[in-house]
Copies of this chain bind each other. A is one copy, B any other.
Amino acid sequence: MSDMVDRRRIPEATVARLPVYQRLLAEMAAARQVTVSSEGLAEVAGVNAAMVRKDLSYLGSYGTRGAGYDVEFLLHQIERELGVDRDWPVVIVGLGNLGTALANSGGFASRGFRVAALVDNDPHRVGQVVAGVTVRDMGALTELVSSRCLAIAVITTPAAAAQDVADRLVAAGIASILNFSPAVLNVPDGVVVRQVDLSTELLVLSFHEGHRQLGPAVAELPAPVA
């Protein structure tokens, strides 16, 4: 009877897997695969089938018992949940090797993100055009965030500058930050930060290499949740 919109809260661990499912389902759709079972999706995603079912159940009852999930339909639901249907303009702060590479890589456009602004504090880099966008000075940040409706920022500065950049971004009104620097960012509640750091990951691998002989084996681990 009750037709209440029973909005379930989606666990963070599930959110982190949705992008994986999205990619795999997109591949299946491109290959004209019509349906997929939790077992089939779990296989390629490298997880347990029960976990796939539980993850998908948070989005709704989109499967058909005895048959599986409709690939196109499920893909659409996941993309809606992830907000892929909207346009997400992104600002990259710090155009050294990494920032420049990310701006030029297809990583943003391929998933519906758009490099809308580039910012650096080095006068030599300001004015240069990277990936079709002119690099602006740090002072232009606040104005850029409001005029371009920027929601997401990527920090690719050295660690020493990261906290200052984060403070400016927060002051400018940005509430989602992807931090490629190894610095731990101190931000107010409500601001979402995800950390991606090369050297941290290398050190974790180094740890496992060093402890290899002891214990039987270390299995594959999911990515860091910043």
Residues of A that sit less than 8 Å from B by CB: 7, 9, 12, 15-16, 18-20, 22-24, 44-46, 81-84, 86, 88, 90, 96-98, 100-102, 104-105, 107-108, 110-111, 113, 151-152, 159, 175-178, 182, 184-187, 189-210, 212, 214-226
9 contacts between A and B (CB under 8 A): A20-B184, A90-B202, A98-B101, A101-B101, A178-B201, A189-B219, A191-B220, A196-B223, A223-B226
In whole angstroms, what is the CA distance A189 to B220 when docked?
8
Q: Is the CB of A221 within 8 A of B198?
A: no
Q: Is the CB of B151 within 8 A of A82?
A: no
Q: Is the CB of B200 within 8 A of A19?
A: yes
Chain A contact residues, majority secondary structure:
mixed
In whole angstroms, what is the CA distance A108 to B110 when docked?
28
Q: Which residue of B has the minimal Cβ distance to A187?
A: B220
Q: Which of B102, B178, B202, B218 contacts A178 (CB 8 A)?
A: B202
